[in-house]
Amino acid sequence: MFARVAARIGRVGGARVAARVAAGAALAAGAAASYTDCISVDLDPAAAKSLLKSLQKMGEERGPRYNELLPAPPGAKYKLAVVEFNVPGAKNGGSDKGPNGHRIDSIPIANGVIKAGAACDIIKYYDTKHAAFAQQVQDYDALIVRINPGQLSQGTLPGTQERFDALMNSLLAKGKLVWSSPDVQTKMGAKDALVKIANLECGLPDTLAYYTEEELVTGFKKTCAFQPRVIKQNRGSAGEGIWLCWLCNGKYCKTYGERSLEDSDWLKLMEMNDNHIEYHTVGEFLEFCVRGPTPKAGNWQSTFPGKYLEGGKEAGGQLVDQRLLPRISEGEVRVLLAGDTCQMIIHKKPEGGLSAVGGNSAYTYYEPTDPKYSDLLAKLMKDIPSLLKVMDLEGQPLPLLWTADYIPKDPEYPRTDGVDTEYVVGEFNCSCVGISKFQAVCGGDKSLADVPDEDYYEACKLTDLMGVKAIEMLNNAKK
Ligand X SMILES: Nc1ncnc2c1ncn2[C@@H]1O[C@H](COP(=O)(O)OP(=O)(O)O)[C@@H](O)[C@H]1O
Which residues of this protein are in contact with Mg ion, per CB under 5 A?
427
Rounded CA-CA distance 22/8 in Å is: 9
30 binds, among Mg ion, ligand X, none (CB under 5 to 8 A by kind): none
Q: Which stretch binds ligand X (CB under 6 A): 20-28, 251-259, 319-327, 410-418?
A: 319-327
319 binds, among ligand X, Mg ion, none (CB under 5 to 8 A by kind): none
- With CA atoms as reference, report the closest residue to 80 among 161, 167, 179, 164: 179
Query: Minimal distance in Å, beta carbon 227 to ligand X?
Result: 11
Q: Is 161 helix (H, G, I), strand (E, B) or coil?
A: helix
Distance of alpha carbon 356 from the chain centroid: 15
Q: Which of 232, 334, 437, 461 binds ligand X (CB under 6 A)?
A: 232
Rounded CA-CA distance 435/459 in Å is: 7
- Nearer to ligand X by Cβ, of 127 and 332: the residue is 332
Q: Which stretch binds ligand X (CB under 6 A): 16-24, 147-155, 354-362, 368-376?
A: 354-362
Q: Is 97 in the site for ligand X (CB under 6 A)?
A: no
Q: Is 21 in the site for ligand X (CB under 6 A)?
A: no
Q: Which of 355, 369, 403, 463 binds ligand X (CB under 6 A)?
A: 355
Q: Which of 19, 407, 433, 465 binds ligand X (CB under 6 A)?
A: 407
Q: Which stretch binds ligand X (CB under 6 A): 18-26, 34-42, 58-66, 238-246?
A: 238-246
328 binds, among ligand X, Mg ion, none (CB under 5 to 8 A by kind): ligand X
Rounded CA-CA distance 403/188 in Å is: 11
* Amino acid at the residue 12: V
Q: Is 357 in the site for ligand X (CB under 6 A)?
A: yes
**How many CA atoms within 13 Å lie on the side-chain side of 200?**
25
Distance of alpha carbon 64 from the chain centroid: 28
Interaction mask 419-438, ligand X, x per CB under 6 A: -------xx-----------
Query: Minimal distance in Å, beta carbon 266 to ligand X?
Result: 20
Restricting to residues 322-351, name those near ligand X by CB under 6 A: 322-325, 328, 332
Rounded CA-CA distance 387/190 in Å is: 14
> Taking the alpha carbons of 379, 380, 381, 386 in that order, is the dihedral positive or negative?
positive
Q: Is 209 in the site for ligand X (CB under 6 A)?
A: no
Size of the site for ligand X (CB under 6 A): 22
Please report which residue ranges of 174-298 form alpha helices under DSSP H. 182-183, 193-196, 213-226, 282-291
Rounded CA-CA distance 82/142 in Å is: 9
CB contact burial 345-373 (16+ within 10 A = b; e otherwise): bbbbebeebbbbbeebbeeeebbbbeeeb
- Nearer to ligand X by Cβ, of 80 and 387: the residue is 387
Q: Which residues bind ligand X (CB under 6 A)?
A: 230, 232, 236-239, 242, 272, 322-325, 328, 332, 354-357, 405, 407, 426-427
